[in-house]
């Protein structure tokens, strides 16, 4: 069960909804000039939903009436959230899209990153690395890409060694596994060719 | 055969020493769902339409549908080996196939993998499978004949190099047989042949390959197979792959013949892919661009201009109709694309007229421009004779007494129909065809009983080849002259007439 939680789930319908609501929220925040706070609030709200499943079920359930949901939301975050954000949460619940908060958070995060010229990257290594190394790699990538790179790390012993950096859909693969595969492919291919061209050198009729 | 392990090890060690490691940059995506030959992938944001992608295990796919948050990919291989969550890599190239002399004489699948067990395909060049057809300025009109070796076709619906001639008919009426005879007849002409089998039974294809090998046609033929059990994406791209291989020779100034057997099954495979990809279905559930699917394939068969080498690709697409319904969607589409049709009909087939071509409705839009002059002269009368005969055939059934003129026309017609029948895998040289058709249309067969006509033809041709080689050679040399076989005072006409007369004297009609 825990392994399934770690695998990312892709739901393109949710992604689309997340984009729609995320855009609305960003527009609102932009006008009010409170983008950073809004993003932070959304982030922590989604974390809270993750930590308290009963709250999430209550908001998502179609059997709970909207008035009740509004009351729950008020009790939960009023006073700790800005009025705009509070309204946003209520609107999402009223539209019956309370299950999309995670997708909305993803969309808002990527929009925010784009606005502030930031890129999220993942660094995969065979053994855990310390923060200093991680920062060095992040700085190097920032220099190459011209944008600020915020790096998260992952450990995958299957790569044996070296470094794999994933930014969005592009993977920069410098892992040992990949190099071994490359060597194997070229060496076997060229040896094959050479053997076929000069068979007598390699074989004898015995 | 004993392999020297030391030598092989030294070669591999050399490769490892020379290896220069580089960071591999690739665009990736994750498989969301896979099944029925297609996959939906999340990610791959920079992929282009038609771009090649690679699944783990080396399976290739093509990006077919670019949607907002996912990419629909058709899998050119075994989709059962792909799992949800697999990483998909974009290769940044369009699909290409190996081309050149390495594929001649081989049996391969649409990706270029060998299927005949004769070793790998060592092609030095590849060509993209999808290209835009040559434009108007790059072409020349069709003016050279492409002899199929079938009297009925070469006389009445002649095919030229660079033409697309559709062979259309019901199942089991001899469509593939016409195409195979055309391939066999290209021996010693320098024409490279390609037989693309789409959705056919593997046993039928094996039979075809057997015939081609027996007749020595495999030396200049490539067979591309995407059988009935092949995944739909492979069936869909097979004709394009075959055309790409032929284009290599065309741009080199050579001539090619491509047979697509058959395009109805390719349309069905394309329909399957489009419906699985949720593209909106149109008439008969085919996608809206099924016309484009066939037109962009057939437009690539052309005759190039002299500046570009004057090469050509002639194509013989085959379409199977259901119950003679030529006004169905796909048949009408392909009829409007091609430069003519050969209709084969089941009633003619079962009556014994084989090839079962209906000369009345079959047409070649290039026609006389692609016909040897001598053949044009003798065949002119043939079409008219047959047309008149068909009109009168109904009278004959009434059993009434007919006047002499009508009766003679009927008799002539029976003999011409008999003359046009031909055995399978026995294509005739054009000189033989000219002589035989001249004999029929000039009335030299009027005294021969109808059931003896085929025997007459066989023995006449044997006679010519054994005893009258000089007449044959004379006709061969003069067949391109405008008056040859047209006027009675032309020397060749007289020579042929004399030879026929000599043979008729010796021919005994009652000898069975």
Nearest to A204 among B2, B42, B70 (CB): B2
Best A17, A137, A163, A170 residue to mutate vs chain B (most B CBs within 10 Å) = A170
Yes or no, beta carbons of A10 and B32 under 8 Å apart: yes
Q: So what's the pLDDT on residue B457?
A: 95
Q: How far is B28 from chain A (nearest CA, A)?
A: 5
Residues in contact with B86: Cβ distance below 8 Å, sequence separation at least 6, in sequence order: B30, B31, B55, B56
| Spans of all domains in chain A | 2-114, 118-196
Q: Tell me which residue of B428, B434, B427, B420 sits closest to B477, measured CA to CA.
A: B434
Domain of residue B44, CATH code: 2.40.30.20
The correct CATH number of A2-114 out of 3.40.50.2300, 3.40.50.10860, 3.90.1640.30, 1.10.520.20 is: 1.10.520.20
Yes or no, beta carbons of A202 and B27 under 8 Å apart: no
C-alpha B255: how far from chain center: 13
Best B69, B86, B119, B122 residue to mutate vs chain A (most A CBs within 10 Å) = B69
Query: B447 with B488, same domain?
Result: yes
HEC string of B213-266?
A: HHCCHHHHEEEEEECCCCCHHHHHHHHHHHHHHHHHHHCCCCEEEEEEECHHHH
Residue B209 — φ and ψ, nearest 5°? -65, -40
A&B contacts, CB < 8 Å: 87
Domain finish residue from B352, B370, B388: B370
Q: What value does the mean pLDDT of chain A take?
A: 85
Least CA distance to B40: which residue of chain A?
A12
**B3 in a structural domain:** no
Helix, strand, coil content of chain B in percent (nearest 5): 45, 20, 35
Nearest to A202 among B7, B24, B68 (CB): B7
**B22 in a structural domain:** no
Q: How far is CA B258 from CA B75, B270, B306, in A?
A: 26, 20, 21
- Tokens found for residue B364: 């070649």
**B161 in a structural domain:** yes
Place of tokens 């002259």: B481
User: pLDDT at residue A6 above 70?
Assistant: no
Yes or no, beta carbons of B43 and A169 under 8 Å apart: yes
Q: Is-contact B23 A173, C-beta < 8 A?
A: yes
Nearest to B8 among A170, A174, A195 (CB): A195
Provide the residue range defining the domain that includes B50.
Answer: 27-94
Q: So what's the pLDDT on residue A4?
A: 39
Domain finish residue from B345, B370, B395: B370
Residues in contact with A148: Cβ distance below 8 Å, sequence separation at least 6, in sequence order: A116, A117, A118, A119, A142
Name the β-bridge partners of B430: none
| A6 close contact with B: CB closer than 8 A | no
Residue B23 — φ and ψ, nearest 5°? -70, 130
Query: B214 with B262, same domain?
Result: yes
Q: So what's the pLDDT on residue A3?
A: 39
Helix, strand, coil content of chain A in percent (nearest 5): 65, 15, 20
Relative to beta strand A118-125, strand A162-167 is antiparallel
Decide which of A29 and A78 is more confident.
A29
Task: List chain B residues with CB under 8 Å of A8.
Answer: 30
What residues in chain B have per-residue pLDDT under 50?
Answer: none
If pLDDT is split at 50, 70 and 90, which confidence band does A174 have?
A: confident
Q: How far is B3 from chain A (nearest CA, A)?
A: 4
Task: Give the distance between the most distant pair of CA atoms in chain A.
Answer: 90
| A166 close contact with B: CB closer than 8 A | yes
Query: B403 with B256, same domain?
Result: no
Task: List chain A residues with CB under 8 Å of B29.
Answer: 169
CA B129-B133-B137 angle, 5° bins = 150
Nearest to A169 among B2, B12, B46 (CB): B46
Q: So what's the pLDDT on residue B21?
A: 76
If pLDDT is split at 50, 70 and 90, which confidence band does A9 have?
A: low
Query: B346 with B451, same domain?
Result: no
d(C-alpha B328, C-alpha B325), whole Å = 6
Query: B338 with B400, same domain?
Result: no
Q: How far is B457 from chain A (nearest CA, A)?
A: 52
Query: B312 with B433, same domain?
Result: no
- Tokens found for residue B254: 């050579």
User: pLDDT at residue A82 above 90?
Assistant: no
**B218 in a structural domain:** yes
Q: How far is B2 from chain A (nearest CA, A)?
A: 5
Nearest to B27 among A169, A186, A187 (CB): A169
| A171 close contact with B: CB closer than 8 A | yes
Yes or no, beta carbons of A187 and B19 under 8 Å apart: yes
Residues 14-53 of A with CB under 8 A from B: 15-16
Q: Is-contact A197 B10, C-beta < 8 A?
A: no
Q: How far is CA A168 from CA A93, B44, B145, B290, B493, in A?
A: 30, 9, 58, 36, 79
Nearest to A203 among B4, B16, B32 (CB): B4
Query: B162 with B290, same domain?
Result: yes
The residues of B that are catalytic are: 365
Yes or no, beta carbons of B67 and A12 under 8 Å apart: yes
d(C-alpha A5, C-alpha B463), whole Å = 87
Mean pLDDT of A173-183: 87
Yes or no, beta carbons of A183 and B19 under 8 Å apart: yes
Q: How far is A139 from chain B (nearest CA, A)?
A: 18
Q: So what's the pLDDT on residue A1?
A: 36
Q: How far is B338 from chain A (nearest CA, A)?
A: 43
**B511 in a structural domain:** no
> Which residues on chain B place their C-beta less than 8 Å from a C-beta of chain A?
1-4, 7-8, 11-12, 15-16, 19, 21-30, 32, 42-46, 67-70, 85, 122
**B9 in a structural domain:** no
Yes or no, beta carbons of A169 and B1 under 8 Å apart: no
Query: B161 with B55, same domain?
Result: no
Number of domains comprising chain B? 3
Q: So what's the pLDDT on residue B287?
A: 96
Query: B312 with B167, same domain?
Result: yes
If pLDDT is split at 50, 70 and 90, which confidence band does A5 have?
A: very low
Q: How far is B37 from chain A (nearest CA, A)?
A: 21
Yes or no, beta carbons of A16 and B69 under 8 Å apart: yes
Q: Is-contact B417 B389, C-beta < 8 A?
A: yes
Query: B262 with B184, same domain?
Result: yes
Best A114, A171, A177, A183 residue to mutate vs chain B (most B CBs within 10 Å) = A171
Query: B361 with B445, same domain?
Result: no
Query: B116 with B180, same domain?
Result: yes
| A197 close contact with B: CB closer than 8 A | no
Enter the ipTM: 0.74
């Amino acid at each position: 069960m825990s392994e399934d939680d770690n695998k990312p789930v892709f739901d393109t319908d949710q992604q689309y909804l997340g984009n729609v609501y995320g855009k609305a929220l960003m527009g609102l925040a932009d006008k009010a000039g409170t983008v950073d706070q809004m993003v932070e609030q959304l982030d922590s709200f989604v974390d809270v939903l993750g930590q308290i499943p009963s709250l999430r079920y209550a908001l998502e359930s179609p059997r709970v009436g909207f008035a009740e949901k509004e009351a729950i939301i008020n009790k939960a975050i009023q006073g700790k959230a800005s009025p705009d954000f509070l309204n946003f949460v209520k609107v999402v619940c009223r539209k019956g899209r309370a299950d999309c908060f995670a997708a909305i958070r993803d969309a808002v995060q990527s929009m925010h990153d784009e606005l502030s010229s930031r890129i999220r990257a993942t660094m995969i290594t065979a053994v855990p690395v310390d923060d200093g190394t991680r920062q060095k790699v992040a700085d190097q990538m920032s220099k190459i890409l011209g944008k600020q790179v915020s790096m998260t790390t992952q450990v995958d012993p299957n790569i044996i060694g070296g470094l794999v950096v994933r930014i969005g859909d592009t993977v920069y693969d410098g892992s040992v596994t990949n190099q071994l595969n490359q060597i194997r492919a070229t060496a076997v291919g060229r040896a094959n060719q050479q053997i076929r061209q000069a068979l007598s050198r390699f074989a004898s009729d015995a | 055969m004993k392999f020297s392990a030391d030598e092989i090890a030294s070669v591999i060690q050399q490769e490892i020493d020379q290896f220069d490691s580089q960071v591999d940059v690739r665009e990736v995506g994750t498989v969301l769902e896979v099944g029925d030959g297609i996959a939906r992938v999340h990610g791959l944001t920079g992929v282009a339409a038609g771009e090649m992608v690679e699944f783990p295990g080396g399976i290739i796919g093509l990006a077919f549908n670019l949607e907002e948050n996912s990419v629909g990919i058709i899998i050119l291989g075994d989709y059962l080996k792909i799992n949800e969550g697999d990483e998909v890599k974009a290769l940044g190239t369009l699909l290409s196939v190996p081309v050149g002399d390495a594929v001649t004489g081989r049996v391969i699948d649409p990706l270029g993998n060998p299927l005949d067990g004769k070793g790998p395909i060592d092609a030095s060049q590849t060509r993209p499978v999808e290209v835009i057809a040559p434009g108007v300025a790059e072409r020349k009109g069709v003016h050279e004949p492409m002899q199929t070796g079938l009297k009925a076709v070469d006389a009445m619906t002649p095919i030229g190099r660079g033409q697309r001639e559709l062979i259309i008919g019901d199942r089991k009426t001899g469509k593939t047989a016409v195409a195979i005879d055309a391939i066999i007849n290209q021996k010693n002409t320098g024409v490279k042949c390609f037989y693309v089998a789409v959705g056919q039974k593997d046993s039928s294809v094996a039979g075809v390959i057997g015939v081609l090998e027996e007749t020595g046609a495999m030396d200049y033929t490539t067979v591309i197979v995407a059988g009935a059990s092949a995944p739909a994406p492979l069936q869909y791209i097979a004709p394009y792959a075959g055309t790409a291989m032929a284009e290599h020779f065309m741009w080199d100034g050579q001539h090619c013949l491509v047979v697509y057997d058959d395009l109805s099954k390719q349309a069905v495979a394309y329909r399957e892919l489009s419906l699985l990809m949720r593209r909106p279905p149109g008439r008969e559930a085919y996608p809206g661009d099924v016309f484009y699917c066939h037109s962009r394939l057939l437009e690539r068969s052309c005759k190039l201009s002299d500046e570009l080498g004057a090469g050509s690709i002639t194509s013989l697409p085959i379409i199977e109709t259901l119950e003679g319904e030529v006004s169905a969607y796909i048949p009408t589409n392909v009829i409007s694309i091609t430069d003519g049709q050969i209709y084969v009909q089941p009633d003619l087939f079962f009556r014994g007229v084989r090839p079962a071509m209906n000369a009345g409705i079959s047409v070649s839009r290039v026609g006389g421009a692609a016909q040897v002059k001598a053949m044009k002269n003798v065949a002119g009368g043939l079409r008219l004779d047959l047309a008149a005969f068909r009109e009168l055939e109904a009278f004959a059934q009434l059993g009434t007494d007919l006047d002499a003129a009508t009766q003679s026309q009927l008799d002539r017609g029976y003999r011409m129909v008999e003359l046009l029948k031909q055995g399978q895998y026995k294509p005739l040289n054009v000189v033989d065809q000219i002589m035989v058709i001249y004999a029929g249309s000039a009335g030299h067969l009027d005294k021969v009983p109808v059931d003896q006509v085929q025997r007459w033809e066989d023995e006449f041709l044997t006679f010519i080849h054994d005893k009258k080689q000089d007449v044959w050679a004379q006709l061969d040399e003069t067949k391109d002259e405008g008056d040859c076989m047209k006027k009675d005072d032309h020397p060749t006409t007289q020579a042929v007439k004399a030879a026929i007369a000599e043979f008729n004297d010796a021919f005994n009609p009652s000898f069975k």
